[in-house]
Chain A
């Protein structure tokens, strides 16, 4: 499997196969990031489409040492920020969110599946209740597993500022959960 460096090299010359591999690798993570950011599936789908159009347009201008994942997430994040500027997001729709994919393979017992599902739904809801700046950093670092340096690159903040924001975001998430839910998280 090609690493990101090889994909960047391919994208710089407009190689369609490299683009397809990058798309296969990062489509779902970028979509998950956008969906959890904007809490609106049709909007997240539109932003996903625009993200990949822009990526295709700018692929040849990538620097040879560019990091693909932060680059793509920055495009997606900038689109979300642009959208947020002119449109107030309706957070009242959180209760109707359906984030779980229906076709996922699941090898847990029904009890474990129920318990984990409930906890994950509660985590999703707690995440959705956070301020945008807290949700953004948690999505990039905890959900997407980015290094703080990469996440700082996406959000265009310094690494120390990002670490501070991450700490505040973790505190806010902990505060958004009940004592029982925090205990359940510790047992997973």
Chain B
């Protein structure tokens, strides 16, 4: 048997390893916890927080940084008499 055939057989054998799972109690415990989190994530407060982090904050930072940069460049140009 060639070496690469052995390797391919190895990968196939790995694919046949038995599935493993958690016990019934934990299965349900994890599911219920995640469902509760899913509901919480859909609330108005959570949505507003996400909107703030994803939209309001980046735009505010970009605007403030941009205007500060413009102001600083203008000051330097003014200082050198341009």
A residues within 8 Å of B by Cβ? 14, 16, 19-20, 23, 27-29, 31-32, 35, 45, 48-49, 52-53, 55-61, 99-101, 104, 119-120, 123-124, 127, 138, 141-143, 145, 170-171, 173-174, 177, 182-183, 185-186, 188
Contacts and interface: CB of A to CB of B under 8 A. Distances in A.
A19 B34 contact: yes
B38 interface: yes
Given A52-B33, A57-B37, A120 B10 contact: no
Given A27-B27, A142-B11, A188 B33 contact: no
Given A52-B33, A185-B9, A138 B38 contact: no
Contacts of A29: 19
A110 B34 CA distance: 41
B41 A57 contact: yes
Given A186-B9, A188-B9, A143 B15 contact: yes
5 contacts: A14-B42, A23-B34, A27-B21, A56-B35, A120-B16
B30 interface: yes
Contact of A45 (B7, B13, B22): B22
B80 interface: no
Given A20-B31, A31-B21, A101-B19, A14 B41 contact: yes
A74 B9 CA distance: 27
Interface size class for chain B?
A: 20 to 34
Interface of B: 1, 3, 5-7, 9-22, 26-27, 29-31, 33-35, 37-39, 41-42, 50
For the residues of A in contact with B, the DSSP-based class is helix
Given A23-B31, A170-B11, A185-B9, A59 B18 contact: no
Given A28-B21, A60-B41, A61-B50, A53 B9 contact: no
A52 B30 contact: yes
